[in-house]
Amino acid sequence: MARGLGKGIGALFPTETLETLETVQNEDAIEKISLQKLVVNPFQPRKTFDDEKIDELAQSIKEHGIIQPIVVRKKGKKFEIVVGERRFRAAKLANLEEIPAIIREMTEEQMMEVAILENLQREDLTPIEEAEAYQSLIEKLNFTQEELAKRLGKSRPYITNHMRLLQLPDEVRELVNNGKLTMGHGRTLLGLKNKRRIPEVAEKVVKHELNVRQLEALIKQLNEDVSRETEKPVKKDIFVQATETQLREYFGTNVQIKKSKNKGKIEIEFYSEDDLERILEILQVEQE
């Protein structure tokens, strides 16, 4: 998955970049703050941290100390971490009692914005965490997907395809979060007609280590089984099957070609208003 934000945080907050936040100004005072007084940013989008990388950072801190102070804001008798949670975690692992910090005044909305954008710009979020970050920005800043895509230098389908993953059941989202399933697996699972079977099929993917192509074949088989329960089975020729596969890959959702003696139709499935908008965009259909 491509990383980086294109236009980046500066496109959203041109006067308050991450570099500005972490750059020590003349009026700034770097204070040593007890680790016991620090709490993590409640708006942190990252749910999982790479333990190996944290350990490597802890070893570096033991040897060289903390070169760059973290950024915090005062909240009652505690300090909330704005930027630098990885350094905070590594400092705890290195058995430090205090950490250098710059104290900034920030609103909760600014805390949320910076936490999300810092991770999108600097860290390898999981596809689910990235999708949740986009969802938070859309909800909190009242952006449309199109506006967010332009501001972040991403394509609209890129944003939409990530956010579609949020339609997965919680247990399946967790499998994507911990790396047992890829984003491709997640998108393919959404093409299953019987949505109640998604967790069951996801577990089968993990157990048998199925790749995305194998999962697509399984989903196709399962969907055909569902169709047989309500429709008279019709044998599709090889050309129609190959065309269906191409269309599924193109639209990122389940597509079926149905033919009768004198006519036929193409059915493209969608699972939400945003999903419909994504498909219409691919078809270049202008909405009024």
Tell me whether residue 85 is one of the annotated catalytic residues. Answer: yes
Q: How many residues does the chain have?
A: 288
CA atoms within 13 A on the CB side of 124: 8
Which value, to the nearest 10 degrees, does the dihedral of the CA atoms of residues 62, 43, 13, 177 take? 80
- Measured distance between the N- and C-terminal CA atoms of the chain, rounded to whole angstroms: 33
- CA-wise closest residue to 102 among 69, 134, 146, 131: 69
- Cα separation, 20 vs 43, in Å, equals 20
Query: Among 44, 19, 20, which residue's Cα sits nearest to residue 115?
Result: 44
CA-derived radius of gyration, the chain: 24
Q: Give the β-pairing of 38-39 and 78-83.
A: parallel
Q: Is the dihedral of CA 67, 73, 76, 80 positive or negative?
A: negative
Fill in the amino acid letter for 65.
G
Q: Cα–Cα distances in Å, from 238 out to 110, 144, 243?
A: 55, 41, 9
Distances (CA, A) of 246 to 183, 217, 249, 253, 259: 19, 13, 5, 11, 17
Asked if residues 175 and 206 have their Cβ atoms less than 8 Å apart, the reply is yes
Instruction: From the candidates 80, 85, 118, 216, give the one annotated as an active-site residue.
Output: 85
Buried b / exposed e over 249-272, threshold 16 CB at 10 Å, is eebbbbbbeeeeeeeeeeebbbee
Residues noted as catalytic = 85
